[in-house]
Amino acid sequence: MKRWLPLIIFAVLVGFFAKGLFLNPREVPSPFIGKAAPAFTLPMVGQADKTFSPADMKGKVWLLNVWAPWCVSCRQEHGVLMALAQSQPVPIVGLNWKDKAREAEQLLAQAGSPYLAVPDDLSGKTGIDYGVTGTPETYVIDKAGIVRMKHVGPIDEKVWKEKFEPKLKELN
Amino acid sequence: MIPELGHFALIVALLLALTQATLPLIGAQRGNLTLMAVARPAAQGQFVFVAIAFGCLAWSFLHNDFSVENVARNSFSQLPEIYRFTATWGSHEGSMLLWALILAFWTTAVSVFSRHLPDDMVARVIGIMGLVSTGFLAFLLTTSNPFLRLLGDAMPADGRDMNPLLQDPGMVIHPPMLYMGYVGFSVAFAFAIAALLSGRLDAAWARWSRPWTTVAWAFLSAGIALGSWWAYYELGWGGWWFWDPTENASFMPWLAGTALIHSLAVTEKRGAFKAWTVLLALTAFSLSLLGTFLVRSGVLSSVHAFATDPARGAFILGFLAVVIGGSLALFAWRAPKMLTGGRFNWFSREALLLSNNVVLLAALGTVLLGTLYPLLIDALGMGKISVGPPYFNAVFVPVIAPALFLMGIGPLARWKEASLPDMVARLKWALAISLATGLLLPLTLKGFNAWASLGFSLSVWIALTVLIGFRERLKNGGRLAALPRAFWGMQLAHFGMALGVAGITLVANYQTERDVRMNVGDHAGLAGYTFTFRGTTDHVGPNYRAARGTIEVSEGEKPGGKKLFVLHPEKRIYNASGMAMTEAAIDPNFFRDVYVALGEPLNDQATTWVVRIFHKPFINWLWIGALFLAVGGFLAASDRRYRIAVQATAPSNAAAQGA
C-alpha cells in the first residue's frame, strides 16, 4: 500500500488541476454583487459642463464599462461594443478611467463611441469605489440600481452570448 | 523562408525524438545491440535540429521579421540588439523552445559522457529523455508553434515590444540558467527510471547519476539567485523574494534536488535508502514539470505568468499525468525489488542525512501546499483566496530551521554509528559560540528579536562547523589543496548557506525604508544618510523615454554632511507598449545597499515626486552565498573519483559485453 501512496497523491492533484484549468484565477467576485452601485457624479468627456450619475439610469438595466484609452484589451472589445450599440439591447456607459493624457475624446471621435455617456474618472476614485482591478471591466446594473454581475476582461461574442445575454434576459 | 526552415527543423527533431524514445528502449528490453546503438546518434541529431530551429527563431528576432507572429508580439524595431536576441525566449513559445533545446543539450551531454556505462543503461537513459523530449516538441508543434506567420494585411509595421520588465541584463542569463537546472533533473529522472526498468538499483547507479544531479542543482541554485536579484533591482519594490507561484515553481525542485543530492550520497557510499532516493529523483523532475504546468497553464495567477491558454494547459496536464503517473506506477510496481542495504545506528551520518531529507521534504510540502491552496479551494467551490508571504514566512522558516542545524552535524558524523558524547565534545564550543552570538548580537543592534537570534545562531553554527570540518581533515598533516574536490564543494556550499542565512536574517530584520514626498531641494534622512532630491531631467533611451532623477546622498541624517555619492533612479515609459517602468538606483557594497526608486510624480511639472528609499544591510551576502552554492556544486561534480570511475569501469564493461 505504502508504495502506491505517491501515485495516489499525484492522481488526486491531477484531478484538482484538471478542474483548475476551467477556473479563472483572475476573476475575483465583486463584493458589490447584490448591493447598490456606489453613487458618483462625474463630468462627461467632451461635455465638461454636463455630469453623469448612476441615478440618471434608474428604471433601466444598463452596463457600466470601465475602460481607458491606454488600455489595449479595451480596443479588442471596442468592436463588440460598437455592434451592441447598433443593435441596442442595453445602454452602455463607459467610465473613462485614469485617462491622464486626455485622449478619450479624440479616440472616440476617431473610432466611434459605443457609449450613451462617458463619465470621466481622472483621479480613479470612482474605480476604487467599484473595486476595479484593471481595465476593461463591465458591471451589469439593474433597474433598481443594484449591481447584478461583474465581468473582468474584454467582452467577446462568446462571453456576451454565454454570460451577458442570459443575465439581461433575467433582469428585463 | 528562415522561419519555415525552423519549423521544418522542429518537425525533424520530433521525428528523431520519437526514434530516440522507442528503438533504444525496445533494444534494451530485448538485448538488441543494434537498436540500442540508435540512442546516441538520434539524441545528437535531435539536438542539432532543435538548435537549428532555435537559431532560425533567433534570426527572425534579430532581423525584425514581423511577419512571424511571435516576433511581432514580443519584439520591436527599436529594441537593442541584445534584447532582440533574448526576446527569443521572452515569450511562451520561445521559452518552451529553449526548454526543448536545453533538454536536447543534456541528452547529448549524456550521450558523450557515458562511454563507461553499460550499453543497455545508456540506451534506457537516452530513451527516457527522448520520451520527455517527444512530449515537449509535440507540445510546441501542436499548441505553441513559434514560427506561425502573419501574412498580408495581418503583418504589422512594427512589433508590440518585449515586456519592459524583461529588458534587463539579468534576463539575458536567468532563464537559460534556470532551465539548465530544471531540465538537468531530467538526467537523474532518466537514470532512476532506467534503474527501475532494469531492476539494477545498486551503488553504481547512484554514482552515475550523482555528478549530473549536482551540476543541475548548481545551475538551478544560480538561476534562482539570479531571478531573485533581478526581481530585487528591477521591480523597484526592494523585495528579493515574493513567494510568487512562479518563484515557488523553481524553489520546489530546488528543495527536492537538495534532498536528492544528499540522499544519493548515502546510496552511493552505503547502499542505503535506495527506494527513497529513486522517489526523490522522480519527485525533483516531476516538480520541474509541475512548475512548467503551473506557470504555462494559467491555473494560478502570478505576476510572471505569460500566455494563458486552456488548450496548452490541457496538453501539459495530460503530459504530466503520463510522465509522472507512469513513473510513480513503475516505482510502486518495482519498489519491492529494492532491498535496503547498509544497516545503520539511529545516530550516524545516514540517520542525520535521512532526518535532513525529511525536514527538507516537509519544507517542500509547506511551499507546495501554499502554492496550490488557492487552486484547491477554488476547485472545491469554497471561494477565492490568495496565500501570501505571511503564510510562507510563518510556516517555512520554522520548518527549515532544523535542517540548517542538522547541516552542521551531518558532515562531521561517522557513517554507520557515531558517538553522541564524542560529537558533543567536538562541537560544544561551536554550539556555545553560535548560541551566544544569537543571543547577544541582536542586543547590540536593535534589542532582542527571536527571529534574528535564530538566524544568527544558525548562520554562525554552520560557518563554525565548516571550519571544524577543515581542521579535522588537516589534523594529521596534509594540505588544503590536497583535499578532494567533493569535500571542498560540500564545504563551500555549506558555507554559502551560512552567508545566505546571515544575509537574509540581517535584511529581513534590520532593513529600513521610507516613502517620502520630495520637492526639488528637499532632504530626507535614513540609516545614517541624507538624501537630497535635485529634480529630474528628461532622458531618451533607445526604445523609451525616461524621467531621470538625481539624488545626492551625504553622510549623517542631517543635511550638510560630506557628500558621498549620487544616484539616478529612472521612471521609464516604453514607446511601443506605453508601459511605465521603475528603474531603481542602487549603491551596493559588501555591507549594505542604498536603494532609491522613483514613485509617482505628484504634479504636472514633475517637480514633486514620491521617492522610495531603502537601506538594506548585508543583502548582497544572499547572492554571494548563492554563488558559493553554485561553485560548490560544480566543484563537487568535478571530483577526481568520478573521473577515476570512468577509467576503472570502462574495461570491465567491455569484458562483460565480450563474454
pLDDT, one tens digit per residue, over A105-126 is 888 888 888 898 899 888 888 8
ipTM over 0.85: no
Pairing between strand B592-601 and B608-617? antiparallel
Average pLDDT score over residue span B53-63: 94
Alpha-helical segments (H) within B63-155: 69-74, 81-86, 92-112, 119-143
Residues 6+ apart with CB under 8 A from B295: B245, B246, B249, B302, B304, B305, B306
- By three-state DSSP, how is residue A154 classified? coil
Higher-scoring residue by pLDDT: B308, A87: A87
Residue B303 at interface with chain A, using a CB cutoff of 8 Å: no
Q: 1.20.120, 3.50.4, 3.30.420, 1.10.357: which CATH number matches B1-167? A: 1.20.120
B-contacting residues of A 46-105, CB under 8 Å?
Answer: 70
Whether the pLDDT of residue B126 is over 90: the answer is: yes
Contacts of residue B15, Cβ cutoff 8 Å, sequence gap at least 6: none
Cβ-in-10-Å burial (0-12, 13-18, 19+) of B482 comes to: exposed
Query: What pLDDT is recorded for position B651?
Result: 42
CA distance B591 to B588: 8
pLDDT at B506 over 70: yes
> Could you tell me the residue range of the domain that residue A152 belongs to?
2-171
pLDDT of residue B653: 41
pLDDT in tens, B70-100: 888 888 888 888 888 988 988 888 889 999 9
pLDDT band at B646 (very low <50, low <70, confident <90, very high): low
Residue B652 confidence class, pLDDT cut points 50, 70, 90 = very low
- Provide, as residue numbers in chain B, all residues whose Cβ is less than 8 Å from the Cβ of A13: 372
Read off the CATH number of the domain in which A129 is found. 3.40.30.10
Laid out side by side, the sheet with B512-519 consists of: B512-519, B608-617, B592-601, B585-588
Which residues is A120 bridged to in the sheet? A96
CB contacts of B73 in chain A (<8 Å) are: none
Q: Are A23 and B299 a contacting pair at CB < 8 A?
A: yes
Structural contact between residues B507 and B455, judged by C-beta atoms closer than 8 angstroms = no
pLDDT band at B462 (very low <50, low <70, confident <90, very high): very high
Report d(CA A33, CA A17) in Å as an integer: 28
B298 has a chain A CB within 8 A of its CB:
yes
By the 8 A CB rule, do B611 and B551 touch? yes
Mean pLDDT over B138-146 rounds to 91
Q: Does B339 touch chain A (CB under 8 A)?
A: no
Q: Where in chain B is the domain with CATH 1.20.120?
A: 1-167
User: For chain A, how many structural domains are there in total?
Assistant: 1
In angstroms, rounded to a whole number, what is the distance separating the alpha carbons of residues B535 and B550?
Answer: 6
| B283 neighbourhood in chain A, CB within 8 Å | 6
Residue B523: strand pairing partners: B532
CA distance A116 to chain B (A): 28
Pick the residue of B160, B323, B324, B327 with the most A CBs within 10 A to test the interface with A by mutation.
B324
Interior/surface letters A137-147, b for 16+ CB within 10 angstroms, e for the rest? bbbbbbeebeb
DSSP string, B283-320: HHHHHHHHHHHHHHH-SS--SS-----HHHHHHHHHHH
Of B297, B321, B325, the CB nearest to A21: B297
CA dihedral (B512, B513, B516, B519) positive or negative: positive
Say what percent of chain B tops pLDDT 70: 94
pLDDT of the residue at B360: 93
Q: B434-470 as b/e, with b when 16 or more CB fall inside 10 Å?
A: beebbeebbeeeeeebeebbbbbbbbbbbbbbbebbe
The yes-or-no verdict on residue B339 having pLDDT over 90 is no
Q: Which of B116-125, B241-250, B331-340, B426-435 has the lowest mean pLDDT?
A: B331-340
pLDDT band, residue B307 (cuts 50/70/90):
very low
Q: Does B252 touch chain A (CB under 8 A)?
A: no
Residue B140 and residue B89 in contact, taking contact as beta carbons nearer than 8 Å? no
* Beta carbons of B331 and A21 less than 8 Å apart: no
pLDDT digits (tens, 9 = 90+) for B170-227: 778 888 999 999 899 999 999 999 999 988 877 888 888 999 999 999 999 999 999 8
Whether A17 and B375 lie within 8 Å, measured CB to CB:
yes
A26 within 8 A of A153, measured Cβ to Cβ? yes
Exposure b/e, B565-574, CB count within 10 A at least 16 = b: eebbbbbbeb
Residue B383: what pLDDT? 67
Q: Per the CB < 8 Å rule, is A25 touching B324? A: no
Contact B266, B276 (CB under 8 A): no
Which of B384, B579, B600 is the best substitution to test chain A (most A C-beta atoms within 10 A)? B384
Give the cell for residue B130: 527522448
Residues of A in contact with B384 (CB under 8 A): 25, 27-29
Nearest CA in chain B to A13: B376
Q: What is the pLDDT of residues A34-64, one digit of tens each?
A: 888 888 888 888 777 888 888 888 888 999 9
Q: Which of B6-10, B39-43, B470-474 has the lowest mean pLDDT?
A: B470-474
Residues B279-305, mean pLDDT to the nearest whole number: 76
Residue B26: how many CB atoms within 10 A of its CB? 14
- The per-residue pLDDT of chain B, averaged, comes to 86
Q: List the beta bridge partners of residue B538.
A: B547
Q: Which residue of B has its CA nearest to A6?
A: B328
Cell 520637492, residue located = B519
Which chain A residues are closer than 8 Å to B299 by Cβ? 17, 20-21, 23, 25
- Local structure of residue A141 (DSSP, 8 states): E
| DSSP letters spanning A120-172 | EESSSHHHHHHT--SSSEEEEE-TTSBEEEEEES---HHHIIIIIHHHHHHH-
- Quote the longest CA-to-CA distance of chain B: 87
Cell of B612: 522610495
Q: How far apart are CA B219 and CA B632, in angstroms?
A: 11
User: How many angstroms separate the CA of residue B539 from the nearest CA in chain A?
Assistant: 20
Q: Can you give the pTM of this predicted structure?
A: 0.84
**Does residue B304 surpass a pLDDT of 70?**
no
Task: Quickly list DSSP for A73-92.
Answer: HHHHHHHHHHHHHHH-SS-E
